[in-house]
Amino acid sequence: MASSHSAPVPTAESSPLAFFFDQFHAQLPFQLTFPPALPTLNVWTSLAIVVLSLLVLEQTVWRVKRKFLPGDKWTIPVIGQFVNSLHPSLENYQKQWARGPLSATSVFNMFIVIASANEFVRKIFNSSGTYTEPMLVAAARPILEHDNWVFLNGKVHIDYRRMLNQFFTRKSLSMYLATQDIIARDHFKMWLADSTDEAKEVMIPMRFFNMATSLRVFCGSYVPDDVVRLISDKYFLITKAMELVNFPLHLPGTKVYNAIQARKVAMKYLLEAATASKANMRAGGEPNCLMDEWCKVMFAQDREYSDKEMAQVVLSFLFASQDAMTSGLIYAFQHLADHPEVLAKVREEQERIRGGDVDRAITLEELDSCTYLRATVKESLRLKPPVLMVPYKVTEAFPISPTYTVPAGSMVIPSLYPSLHDPEVYPEPKKFLPERWLDPKGTAEQNPKNYLVFGAGAHRCIGYEYALMHIAMVVGTASVLMDWQHVATPQSEKVQIIATIFPKDGCLLRWSPRQRK
């Protein structure tokens, strides 16, 4: 029986909502009458209501999560600070840090808490495994592969790291140093041979140098010379794909697709290197690189690590080290060229400790005794820390302060830069002053908690001693073999961010052989 009420009959055209009620009504075994007439909503009105509700919900969630933290009153609908995140700049980060010890922002629907105060930064680093885990960009998993150890967290991560730490003992570092010296001298020769009156950007040669060093230190001569160049070129594709946001499908031509192809090439040779290292060590060969050291540990413990596992670890080391090392070295050369008085002291110390013999490799013990050189490297990394911040994911509601709890599912970002530029710990923080590290009672040495160049806690950089040794050896040896001039431009002090930081002008250097007295 037809309904007797006089409400207009809704159709799919008049409103989906009304249409739904109509269909529902038709299914009923009895009659339902609606005292008030069902309002007629057209498609656009309904859509507008849905969109408006979502926008209100988004702003409400933003406000509830942010509570009293400094941050924008309203979040930009849908994308948040996505546009800014595409073009990260130190200036924008500084504005955010100036908002307070903790501040809030968002990218798409990811709620982000940024920590600038040392107390909160360390708290985040030390919360890994309880409230947080490292948050690599989404592209990291398909590129480095899901079963790579870098995605471990908590106890299993601690145990795995303990095993890897055995490749960074003083004995191992000593062995690596001899290899590093050979590669450094080869590359100095190439830079000198390539040098003209015109200063050139050092980014690409420095990347290649670091890749050549890393591959030889990690894989010895198991990787042929021509493959070093190939991996170095391919590896830049991996670096370029590690962005916050990437095209979600890894179709040919996309950055992630290119990076996956590059990883496949690199892995092919790293796998061959692992196989060759195992065979050589089984045959009683002398250890000569990190993979050999691993084989020794493996045979002693009677535990097998697959070739793939070894290759993946080396791949992760290359990824973690490549950019940061290049940034650290470029700034060390730039700072020394801009401060000839510091370079003169580095040289004087090198000549003295090497006993005037600059043709042999420096030993680890000698490097340890280069107090001024080590202070210089430490200061250069403080002034321009390669890594500005390290994102972590909040796995469980995280009471970061007595009054604020970061909601689960958010991102927390401990920022390293503000601690490293704290004027109370490092007076005149913008100045390059290696001397601040020479006084054991000075504020710099008395506040190691501020020196966060390599992070802190369970995920602190595993290669930090190796990295410090590498930069010190390279600039120390360069100081006695070469002169270099920096052509400063208005962009030299500005920073560009390509995962890590670099001088915006690419750092223009001119090399020349050093005339020793």
Chain centroid to Cα 511, Å, comes to 30
Q: Number of C-alpha atoms within 13 angstroms, CB side, residue 40?
A: 8
- Distance separating alpha carbons of residues 122 and 77, to the nearest angstrom: 32
Q: Minimum CB separation from ligand HEM for residue 198, in Å?
A: 29
Cβ atoms of 226 and 246 within 8 Å: the answer is no
Assess 320 for contact with ligand HEM (CB under 6 A).
yes
Beta carbons within 10 angstroms of residue 292's beta carbon: 21
Task: Specify the length of the chain in residues.
Answer: 517
Q: Using CB under 6 A, pick the residue from 271, 383, 461, 498 that binds ligand HEM.
A: 461
- Distance separating alpha carbons of residues 31 and 26, to the nearest angstrom: 9
The smaller minimum CB distance to ligand HEM, of residues 250 and 459, is found at: 459
Q: Minimum CB separation from ligand HEM for residue 383, in Å?
A: 13
- Distance separating alpha carbons of residues 71 and 103, to the nearest angstrom: 6
Please report the sign of the dihedral spanned by the C-alpha atoms of residue 65, residue 67, residue 68, residue 74. positive
> Which is it for strands 411-414 and 110-115: parallel, antiparallel or unpaired?
parallel
Q: Minimum CB separation from ligand HEM for residue 45, in Å?
A: 50
Q: Minimum CB separation from ligand HEM for residue 420, in Å?
A: 11
Q: Minimum CB separation from ligand HEM for residue 391, in Å?
A: 9
Tokens, residue 195: 């040098």
Helix orientation angle between 255-282 and 225-241, rounded to the nearest 10 degrees: 140
x/- binding map, residues 361-390, to ligand HEM, per CB under 6 A? -------------------------xx--x
Q: Using CB under 6 A, pick the residue from 111, 125, 176, 294 that binds ligand HEM.
A: 125
The smaller minimum CB distance to ligand HEM, of residues 40 and 174, is found at: 174
Helix, coil or strand: residue 77: coil
Q: Residue 38: what residue type?
A: L
Q: Environment class of residue 498 by beta-carbon count within 10 Å: exposed (0-12), middle (13-18) or buried (19+)?
A: middle
Q: Which stretch binds ligand HEM (CB under 6 A): 18-26, 251-259, 273-281, 456-464?
A: 456-464
Q: Minimum CB separation from ligand HEM for residue 227, in Å?
A: 19
Q: Using CB under 6 A, pick the residue from 311, 453, 469, 499 that binds ligand HEM.
A: 453
Tokens, residue 190: 């190439």
Q: Residue 130: what residue type?
A: T
The smaller minimum CB distance to ligand HEM, of residues 258 and 450, is found at: 450
x/- binding map, residues 222-261, to ligand HEM, per CB under 6 A? ----------------------------------------
Q: Which stretch binds ligand HEM (CB under 6 A): 104-112, 230-238, 334-342, 453-461?
A: 453-461
Tokens, residue 150: 């870098």
Q: Minimum CB separation from ligand HEM for residue 466, in Å?
A: 5
The smaller minimum CB distance to ligand HEM, of residues 199 and 330, is found at: 330
The smaller minimum CB distance to ligand HEM, of residues 161 and 185, is found at: 161
Cβ atoms of 468 and 324 within 8 Å: the answer is no
Q: Minimum CB separation from ligand HEM for residue 472, in Å?
A: 11
x/- binding map, residues 321-350, to ligand HEM, per CB under 6 A? x--xx--x----------------------
Q: Which stretch binds ligand HEM (CB under 6 A): 88-96, 314-322, 484-492, 504-512?
A: 314-322
Assess 317 for contact with ligand HEM (CB under 6 A).
yes
Q: Minimum CB separation from ligand HEM for residue 457, in Å?
A: 5
- Distance separating alpha carbons of residues 232 and 227, to the nearest angstrom: 8
- Distance separating alpha carbons of residues 491 and 384, to the nearest angstrom: 15
CA dihedral angle for residue 122, residue 125, residue 129, residue 132, rounded to 10 degrees: 100
Q: Minimum CB separation from ligand HEM for residue 326, in Å?
A: 9
Would you give the DSSP letter of residue 415?
A: B
Q: Using CB under 6 A, pick the residue from 466, 484, 502, 511 that binds ligand HEM.
A: 466
Cβ atoms of 456 and 126 within 8 Å: the answer is yes
Q: Which stretch binds ligand HEM (CB under 6 A): 50-58, 85-93, 270-278, 452-460?
A: 452-460
Assess 455 for contact with ligand HEM (CB under 6 A).
yes
Looking only at residues 150 through 189 of this chain, which bind ligand HEM when binding is defined by CB under 6 A? 150, 161
Q: Minimum CB separation from ligand HEM for residue 167, in Å?
A: 9
461 is in an annotated binding site: yes
The smaller minimum CB distance to ligand HEM, of residues 455 and 503, is found at: 455
Please tell me the count of residues contacting ligand HEM according to CB under 6 A.
26
- How is 422-482 classified by DSSP, letter by letter? -TTTSSSTTS--GGGGT-TTSHHHH-GGG--TT--GGGS-TTHHHHHHHHHHHHHHHHHHE
Strands of the sheet containing 110-115, edge to edge, are: 102-107, 110-115, 411-414, 392-394, 132-134
> Which is it for strands 404-406 and 398-401: parallel, antiparallel or unpaired?
antiparallel
- Distance separating alpha carbons of residues 274 and 295, to the nearest angstrom: 9
Q: Number of C-alpha atoms within 13 angstroms, CB side, residue 147?
A: 5
The smaller minimum CB distance to ligand HEM, of residues 199 and 458, is found at: 458
The smaller minimum CB distance to ligand HEM, of residues 66 and 123, is found at: 123
Helix, coil or strand: residue 394: strand
Looking only at residues 128 through 147 of this chain, which bind ligand HEM when binding is defined by CB under 6 A? 134
Assess 316 for contact with ligand HEM (CB under 6 A).
yes
Assess 463 for contact with ligand HEM (CB under 6 A).
yes
Q: Using H for helix, E for strand and C for coil, what is the string for 472-495?
A: HHHHHHHHHHEEEEECCCCCCCCE
Annotated binding-site positions for heme: 461
Residues making contact with ligand HEM (CB under 6 A): 125, 134, 150, 161, 316-317, 320-321, 324-325, 328, 386-387, 390, 453-457, 459-463, 466-467
Binding-site residues sit at 461
